[in-house]
Amino acid sequence: MKYVNFRGVDNLVAAEVLTDDNEASGGYAVGDVFPIAGAGEISKTTESSSATTYYDNIPAIVANSEGADEITITCSIPDLATYAKLTGKSIDEATGALLDGERTPTYFALGYRFRFTDGVYRYVWRLKGRFGIPDETSATEDDGTESNGMELVYTGISTTHKFTKNGKTAKAVVIDDTADSKADISAFFDAVVTPDTLQAKSE
C-alpha cells in the first residue's frame, strides 16, 4: 500500500457544451477549451443517499442513489469576459462592460488536474454542468498582505448522450497518471476528453 495526499491543483479550464443528446446528428459536442483562472483549491461533494430494506427481520437490501456533483473552486479573479461567459451574462462589444441583467445559463465541461504528494497527477474532465453566480468580497487595503480571490461553484450532472464505449451516460473522465496507466494524456487539456475520445497510449 502506498500513502499519498493531494498537494497541488492546476490547469483549470472549461469548454461550452454545444449539444448533448442521443440523436445521430447531435450527440455530445463542445466548443474550444479556454482557461478560467489560476486555481487555488478545488473540492468535490456528491449528492448521495441510501436506504435499507428489511426482510425476515434482517437488513436484506441496500438501495443507493447518486446525484449531482458540486465542485467548489477557489481561484484568482477571471477576466470580465470569462466571468460573463461562465455565468451567462453579456458583455457590451463597444465598451467591454459587463451588462449584469438576465442571464442565459449555459452548460460547460470543466477540466483540472490534481497533484499527489508523490508527484503523480490526477487528470479530470467533468463533462456537463453549470456555474452559479459567485459571491464577491474585497476588503480595504491595509499594511497586511491579505487579498481576496473568487469562489466558483459548478454543479456537475450526467450527460444525456450515451457514449458508445460503454453505452452509458457519464459525469466525468478521471485518470491517474501513474506508471501503469494505459491512457494517453499527452493532449488532455487541448480538447474535452470523453469516454469515446479517450485513447490508450501508443505502444
Q: What's the maximum distance between 2 C-alpha atoms anywhere in the chain? A: 72
Please give the pLDDT value at position 25. Answer: 61
pTM of the model: 0.90
Least confident segment among 14-18, 79-83, 122-126, 196-200 = 196-200
The mean per-residue pLDDT over the stretch 118-143 comes to 91
Measured distance CA(75)–CA(131) in Å, rounded: 14
Please give the pLDDT value at position 138. Answer: 85
Residue 182: φ, ψ to 5°: -100, -5
Do residues 37 and 150 make contact, with C-beta atoms less than 8 angstroms apart? yes
Please give the pLDDT value at position 147. Answer: 81
- Give residue 126's pLDDT band: very low, low, confident or very high (50, 70, 90): very high
- Cell numbers describing residue 93: 462589444
The mean per-residue pLDDT over the stretch 38-57 comes to 94
Do residues 127 and 159 make contact, with C-beta atoms less than 8 angstroms apart? yes
Higher per-residue pLDDT: 40 or 184:
40
